[in-house]
Amino acid sequence: MTPYRFAVATLSLWLLTAARADEQDGCNIDYRQTECEDEKEEVVVLGHSSPDTDAVASAIIRAWEIRTGPEDLCATPFVNRDDINPETEFVLEYFNISEPETISELVLDASTDPDTFRKFAVVDTNSVEELPHDAKDASETYLHSVVDHHRITGTLTSDKPVVFDNRVLTSTGSLLYQRSLAENRTIPGVNCPINIAGLMLATILSDSLVFKSSTTTPMDKVGAEELALLAGINDINDFGKKMLEAKSDVNGRTAADLVLSDSKEAKADTIHGDVLIRVSVFETVLPDQVMEMAEEIKTACDVQLEEDKGEADNMAAVLFFIISILENEAIFIPCSDQYGTELVLNGKFQMANEDDNQLTNPPIYVDPVELTERNGTQVIVLPTILSRKNQIMPAVLGSVETTPLPEDMVTEVECMESMDGTIKCNEYDATETDAIVIETKESNSDDIKTKEVNSNSHDASASDVDSHDASASESSSHDPAESSQSNSVDESSDSSSHDNSHDNTDTCSTIFDLACNTDGFDTLCGLLTSFDFEATLSGGSWTVFAPTDEAFTKLDDALDGGIASVSDDLLLKILQFHVVEDQVLYSDDLSCESGNNLVMALNGKESRTICKNDVPYGQKGGGNDDVVDFVTVDIEACNGVVHAIEGVLLFNLASYM
């Protein structure tokens, strides 16, 4: 909206408010939430469970919209199951509005066949998991409408078309304001029995964290200014500050209260089926008060995870983030569930600009994402991350695709033969021993070849790279034993010792010689030669993650202009990102422990070792969307060890592009 349009809209609203105040004793339009008449059909209006200001206020606003609209319906707002939070209490008390009744189910008559449900309208969610337990059954026939600003889950269905209004705005209340403007509605404001304008304003300030969140749009800011005039709020920032203070109040609240006070479940699709993740946030201007409860919060997350698993066996993790509004950061408190921590460590959290709080464009991601100490507690601090919707959820759901599931959620093998003759297995039995049999079919043979592999073999040599069956590395199972090792087991070898001493260097190859004398690494050899690595990698002690020729081909195809378009300076840094100086790290030297699984490369950047069942199966850099799987590990050289990898490791390249 241009400054001129904003000035006109503001003046019009001021004149309208003044005129209505003279006509109706300070209230521009008299609206009251009365009991429904018997002859009118009632519509239940409700938001998501763990109700916040937007869910509760938008239910009241939407009920007003339906009641005063063209449909002959009587709408009644409800709170969905749980208690409202302190901020919502403050808002309702400030505008002298009664708290809606609580509803836990939609069934009206369970004696009918099928059951008869109450007609219902949904606000501030479109996920059936966040509604009463019988909403899925009720929605087919009794869903009235959905008005929401979150990502579309596709879990609410209806046997007929319904109103579904989903827009990119900071709150559902903001969306309802835009609907009112489009329909030229008179919005009840200051001194009215129900200050609808005040509720709309409160939803914007709550969900935008008083305009600090990346979810804030220019339309939200203009709408807030307009609504403040109508609602009788003279100082938006002061009113917003009071809301934030109420939001931050933890007095008398338990850790379990905090975990569920603003909590959402999200579903991610994986090769193992749907996985549920609970993501809880607590927005505060007093983060130290919450940090003092860190140990209790860890326990509460563990307890909640067990309860959630009792209701859904595909629930995988409960994540809790403190949203520190004034410090402009999120603080993740890990519970004892290791998988949840790995999800966050592997996540790509898109940062926001500090000047306008909008998401960086092109995207810049938090780098590194690592454990650190805060007030004596191990946490993960994510600078400029304030929005669950725009920043946390996308990172976590993306991480589900690349982070191996907990052992108890992977139960069976499912293999399929493709048209080119290869057989791929996308799951495996997590209870199997380290020795796993995988089957592949070579393109020039009709015979199935079986390989037995073991996760502790260190007998790989340069010649093993040529004989490695590529189709085994293509398996989407991410089983460490499958993807990391391709050599038969030598049971007499001691896998815990690494003898790197060599009396006669003529009997072994240097790392440089391995790269340049082994088929499949021509591109790597050329780069090492171009950047004068021959002398460097012919002495000293090194660990090298060696991309295959196929890996460079994939990178070349992915880049606009190909690898040739990359500057020499950046190409050198990428090459250095694969080289570890003064350390000889065999696969079982690579740590699987969160916080200790970072590997410092020659360019000063860190990649992360990714494991399954405490066995490494790949590396991931800050610029990689997916884990880069190992093809062959522990290829010994005179001066170190080489791990062949199927992709090119990348750090965050945003500042170089």
Structure tokens, 131: 């509604």
For residues 40-60, average pLDDT: 95
3-state SS of 583-599?
Answer: CCCCHHHCCCCCCCCEE
Name the CATH superfamily housing domain 255-408: DHHA2 domain (3.10.310.20)
- pLDDT confidence of residue 384: 96
- pLDDT confidence of residue 561: 82
Long-range contacts of 578-581 (CB under 8 A, 24+ apart): 578/544, 578/545, 578/546, 578/547, 578/648, 578/649, 579/537, 579/542, 579/543, 579/544, 579/545, 580/542, 580/543, 580/544, 581/540, 581/541, 581/542
Q: Where in the chain is the domain with CATH 3.90.1640.10?
A: 3-248
**Residue from 202, 172, 158, 137 nearest 59 by CA:** 172
What digits encode the pLDDT tens for the residues 592-646?
886 678 899 999 888 989 988 788 999 998 888 889 999 999 999 999 999 999 9
- Specify the fold of 3-248: inorganic pyrophosphatase (n-terminal core) (3.90.1640)
Over 70: is that where the pLDDT of 330 sits?
Answer: yes
- pLDDT confidence of residue 410: 54
More confident residue, 436 or 351: 351
Rounded to the nearest angstrom, the gap between the alpha carbon of residue 323 and the centroid of all alpha carbons in its chain is 15
Contact 472, 440 (CB under 8 A): yes
3-state SS of 411-427?
Answer: CCCCEEECCCCCEEECC
Task: Name the band, by pLDDT with cuts 50, 70 and 90, for residue 150.
Answer: very high
> Could you name the CATH architecture of 415-656?
Roll (2.30)
C-alpha to C-alpha distance for 430 and 413, rounded to whole angstroms: 9
For residues 525-529, average pLDDT: 94
User: Which DSSP category does 505 fall into?
Assistant: G
Question: Diameter of the chain by CA atoms?
Answer: 102
Task: Name the band, by pLDDT with cuts 50, 70 and 90, for residue 557.
Answer: confident
Give SS3 for 67: helix
What digits encode the pLDDT tens for the residues 445-501?
333 333 233 333 344 444 444 433 333 333 334 443 333 333 333 333 333 345 444
Helix axes 3-23, 218-231, angle to 10 degrees: 20
Half-sphere exposure of 18 (CA within 13 A, CB side): 6
For residues 362-389, average pLDDT: 93
Structure tokens, 212: 């600090």
Q: Is the pTM of this model over 0.75?
A: no
C-alpha to C-alpha distance for 606 and 580, rounded to whole angstroms: 10
Strands 273-284 and 263-270: antiparallel
What digits encode the pLDDT tens for the residues 187-221?
999 999 999 999 999 999 999 999 999 999 999 99
- pLDDT confidence of residue 10: 47
Give SS3 for 564: helix
Interacting residues of 269 by C-beta distance below 8 A, sequence separation 6+: 275
Average pLDDT of the chain, as a whole number: 82
Q: Tell me phi and psi for residue 633, to 5 degrees.
A: -115, 165
Contact 579, 623 (CB under 8 A): no
User: Which DSSP category does 392 fall into?
Assistant: I
- pLDDT confidence of residue 68: 94
Q: Where in the chain is the domain with CATH 3.10.310.20?
A: 255-408
Helices (H), 426-581: 462-467, 470-473, 480-484, 511-517, 522-530, 549-558, 568-576
Task: Name the band, by pLDDT with cuts 50, 70 and 90, for residue 108.
Answer: confident
- CA torsion through residues 110, 115, 117, 122, sign: positive
Over 90: is that where the pLDDT of 301 sits?
Answer: yes
Q: Where in the chain is the domain with CATH 2.30.180.10?
A: 415-656
For residues 149-161, average pLDDT: 91
